């Protein structure tokens, strides 16, 4: 294939490649190095690019500070809200694809949820806060699981709607003729066919829930219920220069999602090329 703008043989191309990678990766490198430095090196007025005395003390401090609990909170909230979204979204997407509801509810619902996703979430925060207060969902991880549906459910419905819509009808019709109930058709025929779509959707949902900050900071009061983004923001605010521990938490929060990069890349480079027009 012909090179587009730059010749890839000259000196300029590798140089461009290297400088992009440097700008992209240096802050991530800095997270790792800072987490490995003893605190005295982190507040030195002359920063070193490598730790002189690499140490795991920052990670040990996190363990003894009970921050493992916060990691588990994040894992729980992310997992539960992803699972809930996927189940509700698959059911809804299937219904929206295969049945025409009265009053053009199909289109209205799909448009409504995409509009809702466009809103700045802080706009919804006050009424949701009141409702959750009455329902005693504040300061609870289950409350977060519920409220994260504001972000994740519209996304999952749209994605799964697309995947279900692309399925051929024949399998379902055949199963129906053989006497399968609608629920069996959904569980035995549709679910296996959209499996890869579900995986892709789940990953994006996980990233969003793992990252969420606004509702978490509004709803969670007890230290033992904080999720990782809250722990990080408290670190930034309270102990201005406990950078080693801050970055150690950051690393904990970064690693699980970085592992998905390959899948995200593969999915995005096809989805945006073909679908989103």
Partner 1 sequence: MIRETRMKGKALFFWAILSPALALMVWLTAYPMLSVAVTSLQNYNYMTDTRSWVGLGNYGDILGDRLFLQSFRNTLVFCLGTTLVEVFLGIVLALVFYGDFRGKRTFMILAIFPMMLSTMVVCAVWKTLFHYDIGLLNYTLQSLGLERFGWLIDKNKALSSLALVDIWQWTPFSFIVIQAGLASVPAEIFEASLIDGASSRQRVFRITLPILRDQILLLALLRTIDTFKVFAKVYALTGGGPGNATETTSLFIYREAFSYFKFGRSSAASMITLAAVVLMSAFYLRKILKEE
Interacting residues with partner 1 between 14 and 33 (CB under 8 A) = 16-17, 20-21, 23-25, 27-28, 30-31
Residue 191 has, within 13 A of its CA and on its CB side, a CA count of 11
Residue 10 within binding range of partner 1, rule CB under 8 A: no
Q: Which stretch binds partner 1 (CB under 8 A): 50-58, 165-173, 188-196, 263-271?
A: 263-271
d(CA 36, CA 239): 18
Q: Please pick, from the candidates 145, 147, 202, 225, the single residue that binds partner 1 as defined by CB under 8 A.
A: 147
Q: Please pick, from the candidates 10, 45, 168, 179, the single residue that binds partner 1 as defined by CB under 8 A.
A: 45
Residue 239 within binding range of partner 1, rule CB under 8 A: no
Q: Measured from the CB of residue 70, what is the shortest distance to partner 1 in angstroms?
A: 12
Residue 131 within binding range of partner 1, rule CB under 8 A: yes
Q: Measured from the CB of residue 227, what is the shortest distance to partner 1 in angstroms?
A: 10
Interacting residues with partner 1 between 206 and 225 (CB under 8 A) = 207, 210-211, 213-214, 217-218
Interacting residues with partner 1 between 79 and 98 (CB under 8 A) = 88-89, 91-92, 94-96, 98
Q: Please pick, from the candidates 40, 174, 199, 268, the single residue that binds partner 1 as defined by CB under 8 A.
A: 268
From the CA atom positions of the chain, what is the Rg in Å?
A: 23
Interacting residues with partner 1 between 157 and 196 (CB under 8 A) = 157, 182-183, 186
Tell me whether residue 66 or residue 187 sits nearer to partner 1 (CB atom).
187
Q: Measured from the CB of residue 88, what is the shortest distance to partner 1 in angstroms?
A: 4
Interacting residues with partner 1 between 58 and 77 (CB under 8 A) = none
């Amino acid at each position: 294939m012909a090179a587009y703008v730059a010749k890839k043989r000259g000196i300029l191309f590798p140089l461009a490649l290297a400088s992009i990678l440097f700008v992209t990766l240096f802050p991530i490198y800095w997270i790792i190095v800072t987490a490995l430095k003893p605190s005295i090196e982190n507040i030195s007025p002359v920063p070193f690019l490598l730790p002189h005395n690499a140490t795991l003390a920052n990670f040990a401090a996190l363990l003894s500070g009970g921050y493992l609990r916060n990691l588990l909170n994040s894992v729980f909230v992310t997992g539960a809200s992803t699972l809930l979204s996927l189940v509700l979204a698959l059911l809804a997407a299937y219904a929206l694809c295969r049945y025409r509801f009265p009053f053009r509810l199909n289109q209205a619902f799909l448009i409504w949820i995409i509009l809702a996703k466009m809103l700045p979430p802080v706009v919804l925060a006050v009424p949701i806060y009141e409702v959750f207060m009455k329902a005693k969902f504040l300061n609870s991880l289950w409350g977060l699981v519920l409220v994260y549906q504001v972000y994740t459910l519209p996304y999952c419905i749209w994605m799964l709607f697309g995947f279900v819509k692309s399925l051929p009808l024949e399998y379902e019709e055949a199963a129906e003729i053989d006497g399968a109930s609608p629920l069996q058709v959904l569980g035995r025929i549709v679910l296996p066919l959209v499996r890869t779509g579900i995986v892709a959707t789940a990953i994006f949902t996980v990233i969003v829930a793992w990252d969420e900050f606004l509702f978490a900071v509004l709803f969670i009061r007890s230290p033992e219920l904080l999720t990782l983004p809250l722990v990080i923001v408290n670190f930034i605010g309270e102990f201005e220069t406990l950078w080693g521990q801050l970055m150690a938490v950051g690393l904990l929060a970064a690693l699980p999602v970085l592992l998905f990069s390959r899948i995200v890349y593969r999915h995005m480079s096809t989805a945006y090329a073909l679908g989103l027009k």
